[in-house]
Structure 1
Amino acid sequence: MNSYDITVLYAYHAEKERPVQDFPRQTLPAEKIQIIPVWEPDIYRPHKNCLDKVSLAEGTFTILLDEGDSFSERFLERMLQAALHPEMAFAMPALQSQKPLRRGEYFLLRDVEDLEVHIQEEPAVFPANLYGLLIRTSLLKEALLSTAFPCEAEKQALLYILGRIPRFRYLGTEILSYATSLECDHEYDIRCHTLEWYYEPFQKFLLPYLEQNGTTKDTDLLTQLYVIYMIKTRIGANEDNRNKHVISREEAENYCQLFSKALQYVSMSTLLCIQKVSHPARLHTRRLLLFLRLKKQDFSYYPKIRCTKEQMQLISDGEVFCELEQIPLRIIKIDYIDEKLEIDGTYNDFFSQQDAEVFARFGKREYPLVYNGRYARTKCFGVTYARMKTFHVSIPVEPSKEERILNFIFKVQGNEYIMDYSFPAHTSRFAKDFGYIYWRIGTYLSFWSRKGIHVVQSSKWKILKKEVALWLQMWKKKDGFYREQLPLKILNFLLQPYFTRQKIWLFMDKIYKGGDSSEYMYRYAIRQKDGIKKYYLLDKTSADYARMKAEGFQPLVRNSLKHRLVFLNADMVIASNSTVFSFNGYTFARSLPIRGNVHFDVACVQHGMSVQKIAIAQQRLRDNTNLYFCASKYEIQNLSKPEYDYMGYDALKLTGVPRYDGLKNRAQKILVISPTWRMQSALPPTGGTESVSRTYNPNFKETSYYKVYNSLINDPRLLGEARKYGYRIQYVLHPIVSPQKDDFVQNDLVEIIPSIGEMSYEKIFCEGALMVTDFSGVQFDFAYMRKPVIYLHHHDIPQHYEEGAFFYDTMGFGEICHTNDELIDVLCRYMKNDCQMPDLYRSRADDFFAFSDHHNCERIYPVMLEHEKKRTR
C-alpha cells in the first residue's frame, strides 16, 4: 500500500540547480504528499526531466506542477476526490495562464463547475499534455513505458491512458493558474520560434502514429482532436502579425502538406461537428474553411449552397458548414457626405460569387455593391489563406419624412434573405450590445435594430429618449466596464451646445513619447490664428510632457477628463502612428457606447515612409484616414495600389512630412545603429491598447534578433576601429524593443539608448555621422540630410516587412550587408573616409525625396485647412 496519496513532480526552471521554494500550503496533510523537485533547464522541453522522474513516484496518484503555479488550498484534496473514482482516468483542473496577454484560454471552460467527460463521445475539453492532471501513478508509469515514438511522449501517454479508460473528471472550480507557458501560448512560449516544433511532432510522432494505429475512416476521436489541435496551434502562432517567420512563405506550401496528410485521418463529421463542442479544438469559420481546403487539397474549394424559403445553408460533404447568420454583413465604416450614406463593408468569402449575389436595399430602392481590392486578408506563414469580400456602396438619402430601413440582401436560386449585421470597427457607428446607440446625420437620426439600419427624421425629443435609454443600458451592464464611462457620456451630451460651436484638432504621436511628426505639426499649427482649438496629447509622466511644459506649451494630459471630451468632439486627429482609437485607450469593446459620437477625420503625418507592403496597418479604413501626407512619389505609387483603397478619395498628398523640418545636419563622430523591431521578438500591447509601452519579453534573449545585435555592438574589431578613428556608437532601440535594454551587454564605447524618457530622435539623427539599420524608417531621416546609410539584412534574422515600391538593391541609400563581418568591413571603410555619402547614393536620395527643404509643415497646413472647410459634420 502506498504511503503517499499524491506525488508532486515539482518543476523549477531557474538557470542553476537549487533547492526548490516552499510548496503552496494545502489542506491535504503534508505527510500524504510526496514532493519531488525537478530541475528543468531546457526551455524548449520544459517538462522533459519530470517524465524521467515518474519512476520515483511513490504516491497513489501523480501530478506535474511548476514552481510559481497558483491554486487554491483545497486543490490537491479536491483533485484527489475526483480522481479516486475507479471509472475516471484522471482529474483535470481548469487551466488559466498567469500571463497578462492571454485573453481566451484553450483549456478553460467558462461557467462550467464540474464535468464528466467521455473522450470518444462529445468531449467539451481534452488535455493536450500531462501537466496539471492527477493520474493514477501505476497507469502513468505504464503509459510512459508504452511510448513508441521519439517525441510528444505526453500525448502518446494520454492516448494510451484514455484508450484504456475513456472517462475523466474536469473540475471547473479548481483553477490552476500556470506560470510556465504551454505550447498554445504563442505570445510567450519559446518553442514556436524553433523549426523543430513545426516538423518533429508531425514527422516523428503524429503521421507515423496515424499510419500505424488508424485508417482514414476509423481513427479514434481523441486522435482526430489532437490532429486538429496540433495544426491549430501552429496556424494560430503564425496568423497575420503573429507570424514567427520560422516557416518562410516559400516553404509554407510544402510544410502544409503535413497538415493535409494528417487531416486525411479526420472525418468530416469531426471537422464540421465535434470540433464545435470540443473547446481546445474549436475553429472559427474562416479557419474551418482552411482546414476543409487542406483536407481536400483544393484551395479553390467552396461549400455548396442549400436553401429553402426560410433558410440558407452552406454544405460540405453532406454536413452543415455554416448558415446565413454566420455570414454577417460587416459594416466597417459608415459616413454621411453630400446627402449620401457612404458605406464600406465586408462579408466572408464562403461561397462562389457565381452562385449568389449581395446588394443593398434602402426603402424601396436597390443598390449594387462596388467591390474593391481593399486589404481584408488572413494570412498564415505570410501566405493569404482567407479573404473577405470588400465593397463600397453609396446610398442617396433623399428628403423624406418617412422612416427608411437599410438592409443587405443575399439572393440565391431565386430566394432573397436579409443578412445579419456585424459592427466590428470603431467607425461602424452602431453596436449590437447597445441597441440605443444613435447617429445624427444632418436632419436625420440613424440607429440599428433587428430590422436593419433605420433613418428617421430627427428631433430633440427623439435624441433625448435615445440618449437616456443608452445611459440605462450602460448602467445595467453587470461587469461595470461601461458604468465607468457613463459620467463622461452624460457630461458630453450636456456639453454638446458648446462643442458644436468649436473646431477641434487633436495632435498625437505615441503619447508616451513625443518628438515625432505630430509634435512638429502642432508647433506650427499653434502659431496659426484661425479659430481652431488645437491640442497635443501626452502622458503626464513622460519626459516630453515636462519638456513641452518648460517650453511654454500646455500638452493635453492622457486620460484626463479634458482628453476624453476632446477626443469625443475632435473634428480632425493628426497622428504619426496608426490605431488612433487604441492610442486613446479605446479597445473595440470599450468604444461601443461612443461610436455614435466620434466624427473626426484622420490626417496621417507619418512616423516612417510608406514604401513597404503595409496594407494591413495603413489601408484607408484602419483609421478612417482621410489625408495621408507623403515625402516621396514612391510612397504615392505604393499607397495607390488597390489594397490600400485610397484612390478616388483625394487623400494622398505629396507635401513632405513634418518632422523633416527639424532635420539639420550637425554631424559628429557618432555611428548610429537603429534597427526596426520584429513582431516575433516582441509581446503584443498589454490590454490591447498601443497607448502604453510594451512589456518586457522574457524570451527576447533567445531570439536571433538579440543575438545578432548584441554581438555587433560588442564586436572587438568594430570597437577597436571605432577607437582608432575617434568614433562613438549609439545603439538606438525601437520603442517596442526598449523594454529589453538591460538584456544587451554594455561596454564603454557603445551607448544603448531606449526610445523613451528624455531621448531626442532629432538630436541623435542630426548629430550622427552614419546610420546602420535594416528596414527602419529612420533610414530616410539620414538620407534626407544626405548622410550615409548602411543596411544589415542579416541572414539569421527573419524580416517582417515586404518590399512594396522601394527596392533596396536599386533604390537603397547605401550598401546592403548580410553578416556582421561584412557590415564591419563596410563601417571601417566609411570611418576611414570620414563617413561621406557616395555620389551613387546621394543621387538616389535626390530622386526619392520630392523636397529637401524645411518647409513641410508650411505645405501641409493649408491642405488640412481646405479639407476642414469641405467636411460636413
Structure 2
Amino acid sequence: MSKHKYLFSIIIMMNSDDVKNINYLLKTIYQENISIQALVVTDNSFEYQQLLKEIDSQYKSKISIVESESLSYTDVYKAVKDVISGKYISFVTDKMYYSDGTFSYLKTQIEKNALVVDSDIKVRCFSVTPIYVNSVGEEFAYPISNKKEELCNPLLNTNQMILYFNACFFHENVFEKISFDSSIKTEQDKDFLFKYFMNFEYYYCFSNKNLYYLDSAENEFATCMIQYEKAWYLDDAKNFLLKWTQESENFDYIRKNFIKVFTTYLLYARYNCNSNDRNKKVLNEEELEKFISLSKEILKYIPEGVILAKRARYTLNRPLKFLFIKYKCEALGYDYEILQTKNNFMISEPKGKNTFPKSYTICKIENEKVAITAMNYIDGHIVIDFRVYMVDFLNWDDINIEVHYNDKNAKLRQVDCYGLLRSFGQTIIHRKQYQVRIPVNTDAIQVEFFLRIDEDLYRLKIDYLEAAARLNYKYRFNYWRFNSEYVLFTDRSKSFFTIKRMTDKEEFFRRTTLLCQIYKRCISDKNPVELEMYKLRQEYYKLKKQYKNKRIWIMFDKLYKAGDNGEYMYHYLKEHAPDIEPYYIVNEDSVDYKRLIDAGEKNILKTNSHEARLMTLLAECILATHTNIWVYCGFTKEQQACIRDLLTAKIVCIQHGLTVQKLPSIKIDYLIIHCFIVVQVKWK
C-alpha cells in the first residue's frame, strides 16, 4: 500500500450493469471538494470498457477501474491493495450511496482529532449509519448498528456492535494486521469486522451521516439474497460461527461474551430468513441435517442467558428462543420443562436434575397480548379476527381465551387457517386464530380479552397488527367510524377498546382533535411523512361528499410493469361498466406508463403519488393482484398508521393463477378481502 495522498479511498464493487447506480453513488462522493480516491472494481464477467463509456463524464477523470478475479472481498482487496492511496478505506457496492455532506463532515471531525481519545485507546475505524431503502422507497435503519454519535466498544457493550461492514471506514494500518479469510464464502465482511473488534475494540460512530443501500442485508428475511447461498448454511456456519464459538473458551470473559452474542445473532439470521420455509429448496435433506447438526454444536457453547436475553439492537423472537434451547439441550443430552407460577411461565430443569444454572422467566402473563389482525362491520356486528401466540410454549388445549363485552361472554369461533410458521422444517410458531362477533346494539360497549388458566382469569393487552385492524396506539384520539351512528376507539391502557354511539358533531370534534394531534407531532418531530398524511386527511374530508356517489375502482399489477390481470380489468371496466371509474397504478419511469399515456388513458396514477393515495382513500373497490395492497397503493407502514381508519375500500383478489387450494397460504388475515377470483368457475 503506497503512502496516502487522499484522505479517503472508496472501493466500489460493481455487481450490476445499471450505470445509473454508480453515477448516483459517484455524485454523492464527489459533490464536495474533498480528497477522495474512487476505485471501481469489476470481475471478468463484466464489460468494464462499456461501463467506462457510460459513466458520467464529470467523474471519468476522477476514478480508476480495476479488474478482479471475483467480487469476493479477498480478491477485491488483492486487486486494489497496490493502488490504494487513501488514509481511510471503505468498501461499498454500486447499489449504495451516501447522505449529503457525509465526507465534509467526516473530514472536519478527523481534522478536529475527534478520533484521538487518549494514548491508550487507538481508534482505527469509524462508521456512518447504514439505512436500507426498499423498492418503494421506504427507509429502515440496519438494526445491528449504533444510534448515537459516540466512541463505541462492542466488547464492553454489545449494544454498540455494528455488523454492516460497508458503513465502516478503516485506517490503512488495520489491513497490515487483519486480512480477509478466503475460506469464508459469504461473510468475509462480518469476519473482518469481528477480527477488528477482537484486536482493536474501539470504533467511533458518526450516526448523523448515512450510507443508504438497495440490496437488503441478512436481517431482511423477505428479500436478502445471501439466504440463497448454500455456503451461508454449511461452509460459513462451520468455518466462521462454529470455529469462533469453540475458540471462545480460550479468551477472557469480555471477549468470550462478545463472541457468543455475535455468533448467536448470525445463527438467528439464518433461521429468521427461513421463516415459513421461505427458501427450503436451497438445502437438500442431507445438507439440512448437516446444518441443524452444526447449529446444535454452536448452541452447545452459547449460555441460556444469551439466547433468552432482550437486547436494544435485536432480540430473538420467542419461538426461536425455544427452538435454540431445545437444540442446546439435545446437544448436551439434557431436558427442560415449562413451569407456571402465579403470574409467570418459567423455563427450568425437571425435578431431580441439575441442568440449568437458574430458572428463566419466559412469559409474564400480564404482558401477553392478543393480536387483532382485522376488524369489519357486518350485519350489525363488529367482526374481529385475532390470534394468540402462547402456543409456542403451551399446549394447544391449555389455552382458553375469553372475550367479554359489557359483562357478557362472547362466543368464539376458531378459524380454520394455516397457523404454522416453520423454519428448516421445524415448527417454531403455532398460532391459534379466532374470530368473534360483537353485536352493536347499545350506546356504549367495552370489549376485553382474557386468558383463563384453571380458575384464574388474566386480562390480556391488545395489539393492532396491520392496517386492517383499523386502530393503533400512535395517536391517542385515533378512531374508526364504521357506520353512520357508531365509532370504535382504543383505550390508553391497551387492554380494551370501546364501541360508542357518536353524533356527527361529536365525531367532528374527535376528528379535528386527531388532526391537531397529527399536526403537533409533525411540528415536534419534524416528520415530513406525518405532515403529508395530515394534508391528505384534510383533502379527503373536503372531497368525501363530492365523491360519495362516484364508484372509484383501483387496480395494479407489478408496479414496474403493466400488462397482466390488473390492466385487463382496467380496460374491461372502461368498456363494460360505464358507472365505474377505473384507475390504474404503475411506475412513472416504466415503459408501460408511457404506453398507456400515449394511448390517451386519463386515469393512470403514478406509484407513490399524492393522487394515487387520495384515490385509494376515496375508492369503493380495489382489484388486487398482490397481498401487500396498501404499499402498492402508495402507503408505507409509517403512513398507514396515520390513515388506517380511512382505508375502507372493498378488496377483491384477482391474483394470477390463484386456485382454491392456494388460499390458505395467502396472508388473508392481514386483510379484509371480500371476494377471491379463482381459475375455475366450479371453485367460486
User: Could you say which TM-score interval applies, normalised by the shorter chain?
Assistant: 0.7 to 0.9
Amino acid at match of 2:288: A
- Superposed CA RMSD in Å reads 4.7
What TM-score, normalized to structure 1?
A: 0.59
Report which stretch shifted further, 456-465 or 226-235.
226-235
Amino acid at match of 1:225: V
Match for residue 431 of structure 1?
472
Match for residue 125 of structure 1?
161
C-alpha distance after superposition, 1:600-627 (max 9, x if no partner): 32223442242674644x3543542222
Q: The residue matched to 2:480 in structure 1 has which SS?
A: strand
Match for residue 666 of structure 1?
none
Per the TM alignment, residue 471 of structure 1 is displaced from its structure 2 partner at its CA by 0.9
Match for residue 519 of structure 2?
475
Amino acid at match of 1:486: Y
Structure 2 residue corresponding to 1:535, chosen from 570, 579, 582 = 582
Report which stretch shifted further, 322-331 or 448-457.
322-331
The answer on whether the counterparts of 2:248 and 2:256 sit within 8 Å (CA) in structure 1 is no
Report whether the alignment pairs 1:94 with 2:128.
Answer: yes
Report whether the alignment pairs 1:625 with 2:654.
Answer: no
Per the TM alignment, residue 468 of structure 1 is displaced from its structure 2 partner at its CA by 0.4
Match for residue 184 of structure 1?
218
Match for residue 75 of structure 1?
106
Structure 2, unmatched stretches of 5+, are 16-25, 38-61, 349-357
Query: Against the structure 1 CA distance between its residues 395 and 518, is the aligned structure 2 distance closer, same or farther, given a 3 Å change threshold?
Result: same
Match for residue 815 of structure 1?
none
Q: 2-side partners of 1:357 and 1:439: how far apart?
A: 29
The answer on whether the counterparts of 2:609 and 2:634 sit within 8 Å (CA) in structure 1 is no
Per the TM alignment, residue 390 of structure 1 is displaced from its structure 2 partner at its CA by 1.4
Q: 1-side partners of 2:10 and 2:572: how far apart?
A: 62
The answer on whether the counterparts of 1:516 and 1:576 sit within 8 Å (CA) in structure 2 is no
Amino acid at match of 1:73: S
After the TM superposition, which residues 479-558 of structure 1 pair with which residues of structure 2 at under 5 Å, given as runs?
479-500=527-548, 502=549, 504-510=551-557, 515-518=563-566, 520-521=568-569, 532-539=579-586, 555=603, 557-558=605-606
Q: 2-side partners of 1:268 and 1:161: how far apart?
A: 27
Q: 2-side partners of 1:371 and 1:423: how far apart?
A: 19
Query: Against the structure 1 CA distance between its residues 508 and 258, is the aligned structure 2 distance closer, same or farther, given a 3 Å change threshold?
Result: same
The answer on whether the counterparts of 2:329 and 2:336 sit within 8 Å (CA) in structure 1 is no
Per the TM alignment, residue 259 of structure 1 is displaced from its structure 2 partner at its CA by 1.7
The answer on whether the counterparts of 2:367 and 2:460 sit within 8 Å (CA) in structure 1 is no
What is the aligned length? Answer: 611
The answer on whether the counterparts of 2:308 and 2:316 sit within 8 Å (CA) in structure 1 is no
Structure with greater Cα Rg: 1
Q: 1-side partners of 2:581 and 2:529: how far apart?
A: 30
Q: 1-side partners of 2:623 and 2:32: how far apart?
A: 56
The answer on whether the counterparts of 2:146 and 2:159 sit within 8 Å (CA) in structure 1 is no
Q: 1-side partners of 2:328 and 2:304: how far apart?
A: 9
Match for residue 11 of structure 1?
11
Match for residue 365 of structure 1?
408
Match for residue 681 of structure 1?
none
Match for residue 386 of structure 1?
429
Amino acid at match of 1:109: N
Per the TM alignment, residue 450 of structure 1 is displaced from its structure 2 partner at its CA by 2.3
Q: 2-side partners of 1:89 and 1:12: how far apart?
A: 27
Q: 1-side partners of 2:107 and 2:337: how far apart?
A: 48
Match for residue 85 of structure 1?
118
Q: The residue matched to 2:410 in structure 1 has which SS?
A: strand
Per the TM alignment, residue 469 of structure 1 is displaced from its structure 2 partner at its CA by 0.9
Report whether the alignment pairs 1:579 with 2:628.
Answer: yes
The answer on whether the counterparts of 1:192 and 1:244 sit within 8 Å (CA) in structure 2 is no
Q: 2-side partners of 1:342 and 1:389: how far apart?
A: 17
Structure 1, unmatched stretches of 5+, are 16-20, 637-652, 654-873
Q: 2-side partners of 1:631 and 1:585: how far apart?
A: 28
Report whether the alignment pairs 1:226 with 2:231.
Answer: no
Report whether the alignment pairs 1:204 with 2:248.
Answer: no
The answer on whether the counterparts of 1:327 and 1:420 sit within 8 Å (CA) in structure 2 is yes
Q: 2-side partners of 1:291 and 1:386: how far apart?
A: 13
Q: The residue matched to 1:482 in structure 2 has which SS?
A: helix
Per the TM alignment, residue 105 of structure 1 is displaced from its structure 2 partner at its CA by 0.7
Q: The residue matched to 2:372 in structure 1 has which SS?
A: strand
Structure 2 residue corresponding to 1:336, chosen from 360, 367, 377 = 377
Match for residue 648 of structure 2?
599
Amino acid at match of 1:232: Y
Q: The residue matched to 1:477 in structure 2 has which SS?
A: helix
**Larger relative strand fraction:** 2
The answer on whether the counterparts of 2:562 and 2:586 sit within 8 Å (CA) in structure 1 is no
C-alpha distance after superposition, 1:555-582 (max 9, x if no partner): 3645777755543243333344443323
What TM-score, normalized to structure 2?
A: 0.74
Per the TM alignment, residue 455 of structure 1 is displaced from its structure 2 partner at its CA by 1.1
After the TM superposition, which residues 673-688 of structure 1 pair with which residues of structure 2 at under 5 Å, given as runs?
none
Query: Against the structure 1 CA distance between its residues 515 and 360, is the aligned structure 2 distance closer, same or farther, given a 3 Å change threshold?
Result: same
Match for residue 449 of structure 1?
491
Match for residue 294 of structure 2?
258
Q: 2-side partners of 1:58 and 1:267: how far apart?
A: 44
Q: The residue matched to 2:103 in structure 1 has which SS?
A: coil
Match for residue 59 of structure 2?
none
Q: 2-side partners of 1:575 and 1:99: how far apart?
A: 24
Per the TM alignment, residue 262 of structure 1 is displaced from its structure 2 partner at its CA by 0.6
Q: The residue matched to 1:407 in structure 2 has which SS?
A: strand
Per the TM alignment, residue 264 of structure 1 is displaced from its structure 2 partner at its CA by 1.4
Q: 1-side partners of 2:66 and 2:609: how far apart?
A: 49
Structure 1 residue corresponding to 2:68, chosen from 41, 44, 47 = 41
C-alpha distance after superposition, 1:719-750 (max 9, x if no partner): xxxxxxxxxxxxxxxxxxxxxxxxxxxxxxxx
The answer on whether the counterparts of 2:165 and 2:190 sit within 8 Å (CA) in structure 1 is yes
C-alpha distance after superposition, 1:369-420 (max 9, x if no partner): 32234245544457653233211112223x323x221111123354433222
The answer on whether the counterparts of 1:13 and 1:41 sit within 8 Å (CA) in structure 2 is no
C-alpha distance after superposition, 1:746-795 (max 9, x if no partner): xxxxxxxxxxxxxxxxxxxxxxxxxxxxxxxxxxxxxxxxxxxxxxxxxx
Amino acid at match of 2:328: K
Query: Against the structure 1 CA distance between its residues 362 and 250, is the aligned structure 2 distance closer, same or farther, given a 3 Å change threshold?
Result: farther
Q: 1-side partners of 2:462 and 2:476: how far apart?
A: 13
Q: 2-side partners of 1:606 and 1:175: how far apart?
A: 41
The answer on whether the counterparts of 2:218 and 2:226 sit within 8 Å (CA) in structure 1 is no
Structure 1 residue corresponding to 2:508, chosen from 436, 453, 464 = 464
Query: Against the structure 1 CA distance between its residues 87 and 269, is the aligned structure 2 distance closer, same or farther, given a 3 Å change threshold?
Result: farther
C-alpha distance after superposition, 1:796-830 (max 9, x if no partner): xxxxxxxxxxxxxxxxxxxxxxxxxxxxxxxxxxx
Amino acid at match of 2:406: G
Amino acid at match of 2:632: F
Q: 2-side partners of 1:132 and 1:561: how far apart?
A: 37
Query: Against the structure 1 CA distance between its residues 305 and 584, is the aligned structure 2 distance closer, same or farther, given a 3 Å change threshold?
Result: farther
Per the TM alignment, residue 630 of structure 1 is displaced from its structure 2 partner at its CA by 2.7
Structure 1 residue corresponding to 2:442, chosen from 384, 400, 421 = 400
Per the TM alignment, residue 119 of structure 1 is displaced from its structure 2 partner at its CA by 0.5
The answer on whether the counterparts of 1:38 and 1:49 sit within 8 Å (CA) in structure 2 is no
Q: The residue matched to 2:160 in structure 1 has which SS?
A: coil
The answer on whether the counterparts of 1:508 and 1:518 sit within 8 Å (CA) in structure 2 is yes
Q: 1-side partners of 2:85 and 2:593: how far apart?
A: 62
